[in-house]
């Protein structure tokens, strides 16, 4: 099977059956995001202990790319340190926004690499990064209290 086809199948799978979807009973950090262009809305909930994301969930609604990206994100960051999570965001963001002459070779995104094809459709990059920007807003909270921040892709 061709890699492009595998990536397509992975995005379809995560959009139709998102992992870690739902509103948790408790969390330490959360943020909500909205993409007014596409209508995507997402809330990211984190359970952070020390420097580690012990659990992550999301809810909301959006296009297939937005939902798949949020689902893939939750799988990728669960159990990661905050430093690892920030580095993963930077790698994905670079992959999706790099110009044709900039290289992202050597960046191992794992399953998140399935989102790389989105950069061919600049209007959809915001769909793919909404959950990630919302994650950063949740991580930007300085205390362990549950607070909801709102972000937008405008």
Q: Which residue has the tokens 């909205």?
A: 34
Record the tokens describing residue 47, joined without a space. 């359970």
- Buried (b) or exposed (e) across 122-150, using 16+ Cβ within 10 A? eebbbbbbbbbbbbbbbbebeeeeeeebe
Confidence of residue 90 (pLDDT cuts 50, 70, 90): very high
Percent of the chain with pLDDT over 70: 82
Sequence spans of domains, the chain: 3-152
pLDDT over 90 at 3, yes or no = no
Contacts of 137 (CB under 8 A, 6+ apart): 31, 33, 149, 150, 151
Q: Which of 28-37, 98-107, 116-125, 130-139 comes out lowest in average pLDDT?
A: 98-107
| pLDDT tens sequence across 44-78 | 999 999 999 999 999 999 999 999 999 999 999 99
Q: Determine how many CB atoms are found less than 10 A away from the CB of residue 119.
A: 17
Contacts of 131 (CB under 8 A, 6+ apart): 33, 42, 44, 58, 66, 69, 70, 73
Q: What CA–CA distance (Å, rounded) separates 48 from 18?
A: 21
Strands 29-35 and 40-49: antiparallel
Q: What CA–CA distance (Å, rounded) separates 110 from 32?
A: 26
Helices (H) and strands (E) in the chain, counts: 4, 4
Contacts of 92 (CB under 8 A, 6+ apart): 109, 112, 115, 129, 132
| pLDDT tens sequence across 4-51 | 666 689 999 999 999 999 999 999 999 999 998 889 999 999 999 999
* Fold entry, domain 3-152: Sufe protein. Chain: A (3.90.1010)
User: In the predicted model, what is the mean pLDDT of residues 129-141?
Assistant: 93
pLDDT at residue 143, rounded to an integer: 46
**Contact present, 33 and 150 (Cβ < 8 Å):** yes
């Amino acid at each position: 099977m061709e890699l492009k086809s595998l990536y397509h199948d992975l995005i379809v799978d995560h959009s139709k059956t998102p992992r870690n979807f739902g509103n948790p009973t408790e969390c330490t950090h959360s943020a909500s995001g909205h993409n007014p262009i596409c209508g995507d809305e997402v809330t990211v909930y984190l359970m952070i202990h020390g420097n580690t994301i012990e659990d992550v969930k999301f809810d909301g609604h959006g296009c297939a790319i937005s939902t798949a990206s949020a689902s893939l994100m939750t799988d990728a960051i669960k159990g990661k340190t905050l430093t690892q999570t920030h580095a993963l965001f930077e790698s994905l963001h670079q992959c999706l926004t790099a110009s044709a002459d900039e290289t992202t070779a050597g960046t191992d995104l794992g399953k998140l690499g399935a989102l790389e094809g989105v950069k061919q459709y600049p209007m959809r990059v915001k769909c793919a990064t909404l959950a990630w920007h919302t994650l950063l807003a949740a991580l930007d909270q300085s205390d362990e209290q549950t607070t909801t921040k709102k972000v937008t892709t405008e």
